[in-house]
Amino acid sequence: SAVIYRADYQPPPFWIDTVELCFDLDPAKTRVLNRMKLRRNPDVPQQPLKLDGDELNLARVMVNGQGTSFRMEGSRLVLENLPEGYEPFELEIFTTCSPAKNTKLMGLYVSNDSFFTQCEAEGFRRITYFLDRPDVMASYTVTLRADKQKYPVLLSNGNLVDHGDLDEGRHYARWVDPFRKPCYLFALVAGQLVAREQKIATRNGKEHLLQVYVRPGDLDKTEHAMNSLMASVAWDEARFGLALDLERFMIVATSDFNMGAMENKGLNIFNTKYVLANQATATDTDFSNIESVVGHEYFHNWTGNRITCRDWFQLSLKEGLTVFRDQEFSQDLAGEASARAVKRIEDVRVLRTAQFPEDAGPMAHPVRPDQYLEINNFYTVTIYEKGAEVVRMMQTLVGREGFARGMTLYFQRHDGQAVTCEDFAQAIADANPQSRLHELLPQFKRWYSQAGTPRVKAGAHWDAVTGQYELSLSQSCPPSPGQPAKEPFVIPIAWGLIGPDGREVASGMHVLTQASETLTIPGAPAGAVPSLLRGFSAPVILDFDYTDEQLLALLEHDTDPFNRWEAGQRLAVNRALAAIHGSGEIVLDNAFIGAMRSILRHRTLDAAFKELVLTLPAETYIAEQLDVVDPQRVHAVRESMREQMATALQDDWAWAYEHHKDNGAYRPDPVSSGRRALAGLALTHLCIAARSSGDGVWPGKAYQRFKDASNMTDRFNALSALVVSGQDLARSALDKFHCMFKDEPLVLDKWFSLQAGAPDRGGNILPAVRQLMQHPDFNIRNPNRARSLIFSYCSANPGAFHRADAAGYVFWSDRVMELDAINPQVASRLARALDRWRKLAEPMRGAAREAIARVAGKPDLSNDVREVVTRALA
Pairing of strands 57-63, 66-67: antiparallel
Whether the upstream peptide bond of residue 121 has omega within 30° of 0, thus cis, is yes
Give CA–CA dist 750/387, Å, rounded.
Answer: 30
Which residue, 20 or 297, is less far from ligand HT7 as judged by CB? 297
User: For residues 414 and 446, which CB has a smaller minimum distance to Zn ion in the complex?
Assistant: 414
3-state secondary structure of 801: helix
Rounded Cα distance between 759 and 723, Å, is: 8
**Closer residue to Zn ion, CB minimum distance, 117 or 755:** 117
Paired strand residues for 663: none
CB of 304 to ligand HT7, least distance (A): 7
Minimum distance from residue 270 beta carbon to ligand HT7 (Å): 10
Nearer to Zn ion, 52 or 385 (CB): 385
Q: What is the DSSP letter of 296?
A: H
Rounded least distance, CB 119 to ligand HT7, Å: 9
d(CA 457, CA 473): 6
For ligand HT7, the closer CB: 550 or 825: 825
Closest CA to 41 of 10, 12, 18: 12
Instruction: 871-874: list long-range contacts, CB under 8 Å, 24+ apart.
Output: 871/362, 871/363, 871/481, 872/362, 872/363, 872/831, 872/834, 872/835, 872/837, 873/849, 874/362, 874/481
**Distance of alpha carbon 363 from alpha carbon 867, whole angstroms:** 9
Q: Which of the ranges 17-25, 321-329, 344-352, 467-475 carries the binding residues for Zn ion, by CB under 5 A?
A: 321-329
User: Considering CB distances under 5 to 8 angstroms, the limit depending on partner class, which of ligand HT7, Zn ion, none binds residue 531?
Assistant: none
Name the residue whose CB lies closest to ligand HT7: 259
- What residues numbered 802-841 form the site for ligand HT7, per CB under 6 A? 825
What is the radius of gyration, based on Cα positions, of the chain? Answer: 28
CA 707, CA 660: separation in Å to the nearest integer?
Answer: 18
DSSP letters, 460-516, are EEE-TTT--EEEEEEEE---BTTB---PPPPEEEEEEEE-TTS-EEEEEEEEE-SSE
Q: What's the one-letter identity of residue 802? A: H
Distant-in-sequence, close-in-space partners of 405: CB < 8 Å, separation ≥ 6: 398, 431, 432
Q: Please give the order of strands across the beta sheet that includes 504-512.
A: 504-512, 491-498, 529-532
Distance CA 712, CA 709 (A): 7
Ranges within 253-282 binding ligand HT7 (CB under 6 A):
258-259, 261-263
Q: Considering beta carbons, is residue 320 or 357 the nearer one to Zn ion? A: 320
CA angle 419, 420, 424 (to 5 degrees): 95
Residue 235 CB, nearest approach to ligand HT7 (Å): 17
**DSSP letters along 528-539, please?**
-EEEESGGG-SS
SS3 content of the chain, % helix, strand, coil (to 5): 45, 20, 35
Q: Would you give the binding string for Zn ion spanning residues 819-848, x where CB under 5 A is met?
A: ------------------------------
Q: How far is the CB of 315 from ligand HT7 (least distance, A)?
A: 8
Burial of 776 (0-12, 13-18, 19+ CB in 10 A): exposed
- Interacting positions 109-148 with ligand HT7 (CB under 6 A): 118, 120-121
* Smallest separation, CB 257 to Zn ion (Å): 14
Name which of Zn ion, ligand HT7, none residue 579 binds, using a CB cut-off of 5 to 8 Å depending on partner kind: none
* Shortest separation between residue 290's beta carbon and ligand HT7, angstroms: 14
From the list 286, 319, 560, 744, which residue makes contact with ligand HT7 (rule: CB under 6 A)?
A: 319
- What residues are labeled active site? 297
**Which CB sits closer to Zn ion, 319 or 744?**
319
In the complex, the smallest distance separating the C-beta of residue 545 from Zn ion, rounded to whole angstroms, is 39
Which option in Zn ion, ligand HT7, none does residue 749 bind, with CB closer than 5 to 8 A by kind? Answer: none
CA distance 211 to 270: 13
* 657 dihedral zone (left: phi>0; alpha: psi -120 to 50; beta): alpha
Cβ–Cβ < 8 Å for 358, 381? yes
Q: Give the binding range for Zn ion (CB under 5 A) out of 317-325, 569-577, 684-692, 855-863.
A: 317-325
**Per-residue string for binding with ligand HT7, 386-425, x by CB under 6 A?**
----------------------------------------
Closest CB to Zn ion among 319 and 820?
319
Burial of 673 (0-12, 13-18, 19+ CB in 10 A): buried
- Of 319-327, 347-355, 585-593, 821-829, which part binds Zn ion (CB under 5 A)? 319-327
Q: Which does 259 bind (CB under 5 to 8 A by kind): Zn ion, ligand HT7, none?
A: ligand HT7
In the bound state with ligand HT7, the residue whose beta carbon lies nearer, of 359 and 374, is: 374
Q: Considering only the stretches 64-72, 315-323, 460-468, 555-563, report the one whose residues sit in contact with Zn ion under the rule CB under 5 A.
A: 315-323
Instruction: Report the alpha-carbon distance of residue 340 to residue 362 in Å, rounded.
Output: 34
Alpha helix ranges (H) inside 558-709: 561-581, 590-601, 607-614, 619-624, 631-648, 650-660, 670-693, 697-708
Q: Minimal distance in Å, beta carbon 122 to ligand HT7? A: 9
Query: Of ligand HT7, Zn ion, none, which one does residue 388 interact with (CB within 5 to 8 Å by kind)?
Result: none
Q: Which does 753 bind (CB under 5 to 8 A by kind): ligand HT7, Zn ion, none?
A: none
Partner interacting with residue 258 (select from Zn ion, ligand HT7, none; CB below 5-8 Å by kind): ligand HT7
Give the DSSP letter of residue 386. Answer: I
The window from 322-330, 584-592, 610-618, 665-673 that contacts Zn ion (CB under 5 A) reads 322-330
Distance CA 542, CA 529 (A): 15
Cβ-contact 374, 870 below 8 angstroms: no
| Interface with ligand HT7: number of residues (CB under 6 A) | 15
Per CB under 6 A, the segment of 294-302, 393-401, 596-604, 781-789 that binds ligand HT7 is 294-302
CA distance 648 to 101: 57
Q: How far is the CB of 296 from Zn ion (least distance, A)?
A: 5
634-663 footprint of ligand HT7 as x/- string (CB under 6 A): ------------------------------
Look at residue 58 and give its three-state secondary structure: strand
Number of residues that bind Zn ion (CB under 5 A): 2
Contact map string, positions 348 to 387, toward ligand HT7, x by CB under 6 A: ----------------------------x--x--------
- β-pairing, 137-147 with 14-24? parallel
Contacts of 591 (CB under 8 A, 6+ apart): 548, 552
262 binds, among Zn ion, ligand HT7, none (CB under 5 to 8 A by kind): ligand HT7
Binding to ligand HT7 by CB under 6 A, coded x per residue (else -) over 553-572, reads --------------------
Nearer to ligand HT7, 58 or 822 (CB): 822
297 contributes a contact to ligand HT7 by CB under 6 A? yes
Measured from the CB atom, the residue of 328 and 639 that comes closer to ligand HT7 is: 328
Cβ nearer to ligand HT7, comparing 365 with 715: 365
Q: Residue 755 touches which of ligand HT7, Zn ion, none (CB < 5 to 8 A by kind)?
A: none
Q: Minimum distance between the CB of residue 384 and Zn ion, rounded to whole angstroms?
A: 7
Q: Which residues bind Zn ion (CB under 5 A)?
A: 319, 322
Q: Which residues bind ligand HT7 (CB under 6 A)?
A: 118, 120-121, 258-259, 261-263, 296-297, 300, 319, 376, 379, 825
